[in-house]
Chains A and B, each alone.
Chain A
């Protein structure tokens, strides 16, 4: 990774639209000639990042360095980059040839000439007709559309339009080619073909490609490096192999390929407990730490009932072409297994997993902690934009409330808790959600959902961009709006301010 091989660098890039953050503190460097893919669910900020590189959006803050020069505030027509748009964005009133020649006709090339004084000077000129003609023909050849020059673009099929769009971009010989879900509108077979062709083109042209997709398979097939983005934040950067085998967190594991994700506990050096047994693994975390454990379905081996490490029972089977996908139950936990050997549903089996195929990750969230909570005059706690009934007497052991709601400590002192700062902690399993929006204190939208063997972990975001992490056994859908309620006895409070200031 030589520094001078870096063609593009994004440093602390931030962008928000109407107050909601779309890209947060993004840092990334791209090597010359690399095929980098931004991968993430829709609305994660990947397209916005690409548009900031293209110059179609301006970042709120941060730098975008192209060959070391900051281009963050440069308008798009001054950047030596070209984009292939999601819906092609061909010019309908121009034919194929003129669409491709559009950029060339505007381009100025510098050349050297000798002036009257005999000095060599650099001048700029436009491309000649013959030069443009040669370049357009070459581009058409690259995308396999020779003899289409005079066709009206509106009469072309989706695949052909896509090829014109690619030709229109590469004909300008950009330093970086930006592709915004270019295959999204094509059917599956066409998409697979174009994936290989694009990859081939990347090899031949030697241009740096930055590719945006929400299709993980596409990303794995084509990329040198994948940048997994969720909620405007980079989750992981790595080669397809790294991302698949060593996902950085539960989100990445869930998003890329099929996976089993469990909550486990480290119980010794390189020993982790999940699915009701202790497993050998190759990662080290602190003893007793709760961790997320990821096992890929193809890494689980099925044995006859007593040969494996843990007993299981097959409850479901799907034939997937090259393999069977089984769902087995280990106690309350579901296990997804892929195997080429058939087993009947209902069969008792046992399972083993190789230690190096158990991927252990630090848990991102262990509880909901609100550091900026405070108590209001009704002795309710306020956080996340709502007030919640709670038991304030837990702030000092043995404290009580008098009939007027003043706080009495065991030593007889009296306090008015109004406005006092506290830290509120709520366990993930203690938050109740409901689709009856009147029921809870506040409503939010489910923005992420990960299955963890016997429960879902949801992230619910309120309108004020406050997040609640919730464990639930029930199935919800992403982007559902739900209301949130919390049992008053389940809110743990800790004093943050000096209590003596509130004495009356």
Chain B
């Protein structure tokens, strides 16, 4: 009688671990093979940090990394600004406008990226605009702004809507009330919207490919350009490892921070 739930538990747990193992196995393999200098994939020729050295020596790849980070950061800042303003604006707007905006923001989320990329390309062409950093920026903002809106909105809904009015009532100007009262409440949403924007922009290929200046390469377009004619450059393995570890570090940091805050609030409540 006692044994049955135990076996069940073991089966459930092993299934979970199996799934997790399968999910992370490819990344694990990649990380392992980033520490060998073999050009051929899947061949181990002894431990070496050569690929890391090559990575930092490869100027065009380093340039692509810089471009990727630049466009991700700038587009995330712009999207965060626009998305937050949009969310706050519609939250305090009349119900009719609210519904319209809400529906409009759903679309880019479910829309195929290729549709977005093509339509923007057609738009810029018909306006006789040549592709520059700015067209690419617009593309990335269009891609990510809806996600910022969707991250900020729940924070606004959770917030007591009358605190804005309370601040006005106490003598605050509308701007002061927005920055000192509403903003602190929705900051976590803005922050997660910002991070999501960066992530989406970092690994975007389709929109970038259509809207970039021909000489401007990001990591994904650079690799794509190479693999057309050559095998995948081995230093990309090192780059992928670094990217994965950076993201892993960020995720762990955010989780630890949130847990700490939750325990703090819980102990405060108990007092």
| A-B complex is real | yes
Instruction: Kindly state the separation between the CA atoms of A172 and B166 in the bound complex, as whole angstroms.
Output: 13
B170 touches A103 (CB 8 A): yes
Measured CB to CB, the closest approach of chain A to B71, in angstroms, equals 33
The proximity string for B residues 136-170 relative to A, scoring 1 for CB distances below 8 Å and 0 otherwise, is 00000000000000000000000010110111111
Residues of the B chain whose Cβ atoms lie less than 8 Å from the Cβ of A172 = 170-171
A54 touches B169 (CB 8 A): yes
Q: Residue A76 at the B interface, CB < 8 A?
A: yes
Contacts A103-B171, A172-B171 given: A85-B166 contact, CB under 8 Å?
A: yes
A76 touches B165 (CB 8 A): yes
Measured CB to CB, the closest approach of chain B to A126, in angstroms, equals 11
B171 touches A152 (CB 8 A): no
Chain A residues 72-117 with CB under 8 Å of chain B are 75-77, 81-83, 85-93, 102-103, 106-107
Q: Residue B223 at the A interface, CB < 8 A?
A: no
Contacts A106-B176, A155-B268, A155-B271 given: A82-B163 contact, CB under 8 Å?
A: no
Query: Can you spell out 12 A-B residue pairs with CB atoms less than 8 angstroms apart?
Result: A54-B169, A75-B174, A77-B171, A81-B169, A82-B170, A91-B166, A92-B185, A93-B185, A106-B172, A107-B171, A154-B265, A172-B171
How many chain B residues have a CB neighbour from A under 8 Å? 21
A91 touches B181 (CB 8 A): yes
Chain B residues 33-81 with CB under 8 Å of chain A are none
Measured CB to CB, the closest approach of chain B to A163, in angstroms, equals 15
Residues of the A chain whose Cβ atoms lie less than 8 Å from the Cβ of B255 = none
Instruction: Kindly state the separation between the CA atoms of A106 and B173 in the bound complex, as whole angstroms.
Output: 9
Given contacts A77-B170, A85-B165, A89-B162, 14 further A-B contacts (CB under 8 A): A56-B165, A75-B168, A76-B165, A76-B168, A77-B174, A83-B165, A89-B163, A91-B181, A92-B160, A92-B185, A106-B170, A154-B268, A154-B269, A168-B170
Contacts A92-B185, A106-B176 given: A76-B169 contact, CB under 8 Å?
A: yes
Instruction: Kindly state the separation between the CA atoms of A107 and B173 in the bound complex, as whole angstroms.
Output: 11
Instruction: Kindly state the separation between the CA atoms of A55 and B160 in the bound complex, as whole angstroms.
Output: 19
Q: Which of A56, A76, A83, A152 contacts B268 (CB 8 A)?
A: A152
Q: Residue B26 at the A interface, CB < 8 A?
A: no
Return the chain A residue nearest B160 by Cβ: A89
Residues of the B chain whose Cβ atoms lie less than 8 Å from the Cβ of A103 = 170-171
Instruction: Kindly state the separation between the CA atoms of A86 and B169 in the bound complex, as whole angstroms.
Output: 14
Chain B residues 169-201 with CB under 8 Å of chain A are 169-174, 176, 181, 184-185
Residues of the B chain whose Cβ atoms lie less than 8 Å from the Cβ of A155 = 268-269, 271
Return the chain B residue nearest A155 by Cβ: B268
Measured CB to CB, the closest approach of chain B to A89, in angstroms, equals 4
A87 touches B171 (CB 8 A): no
Return the chain A residue nearest B267 by Cβ: A155
Residues of the A chain whose Cβ atoms lie less than 8 Å from the Cβ of B171 = 77, 103, 106-107, 172
User: Hey, which bits of chain A sit against chain B, CB under 8 A?
Assistant: 54-56, 75-77, 81-83, 85-93, 102-103, 106-107, 152, 154-155, 168-169, 172
Measured CB to CB, the closest approach of chain A to B157, in angstroms, equals 14
Instruction: Kindly state the separation between the CA atoms of A54 and B162 in the bound complex, as whole angstroms.
Output: 13
Return the chain B residue nearest A152 by Cβ: B268
Residues of the A chain whose Cβ atoms lie less than 8 Å from the Cβ of B181 = 91
Instruction: Kindly state the separation between the CA atoms of A169 and B166 in the bound complex, as whole angstroms.
Output: 9
Q: Which of B169, B172, B174, B265 contacts A56 (CB 8 A)?
A: B169
B168 touches A87 (CB 8 A): no
Measured CB to CB, the closest approach of chain B to A210, in angstroms, equals 13
Residues of the A chain whose Cβ atoms lie less than 8 Å from the Cβ of B166 = 83, 85, 89-91
Return the chain A residue nearest B161 by Cβ: A89
Instruction: Kindly state the separation between the CA atoms of A152 and B269 in the bound complex, as whole angstroms.
Output: 9
Residues of the B chain whose Cβ atoms lie less than 8 Å from the Cβ of A86 = 162
Minimum-distance CB pairs A-B, first 7: A103-B170, A89-B166, A89-B162, A93-B184, A106-B171, A76-B168, A83-B169
Contacts A87-B162, A89-B162, A90-B163 given: A56-B184 contact, CB under 8 Å?
A: no
Instruction: Kindly state the separation between the CA atoms of A76 and B184 in the bound complex, as whole angstroms.
Output: 22
Instruction: Kindly state the separation between the CA atoms of A85 and B163 in the bound complex, as whole angstroms.
Output: 9
Measured CB to CB, the closest approach of chain A to B31, in angstroms, equals 41
Interface centre among A76, A83, A88, by most chain B C-beta atoms within 10 angstroms, is: A76
Residues of the B chain whose Cβ atoms lie less than 8 Å from the Cβ of A81 = 169
Instruction: Kindly state the separation between the CA atoms of A55 and B268 in the bound complex, as whole angstroms.
Output: 36
Measured CB to CB, the closest approach of chain B to A182, in angstroms, equals 13
Residues of the A chain whose Cβ atoms lie less than 8 Å from the Cβ of B169 = 54-56, 76-77, 81-83
Residues of the B chain whose Cβ atoms lie less than 8 Å from the Cβ of A56 = 165, 168-169
Chain B residues 246-271 with CB under 8 Å of chain A are 265, 268-269, 271
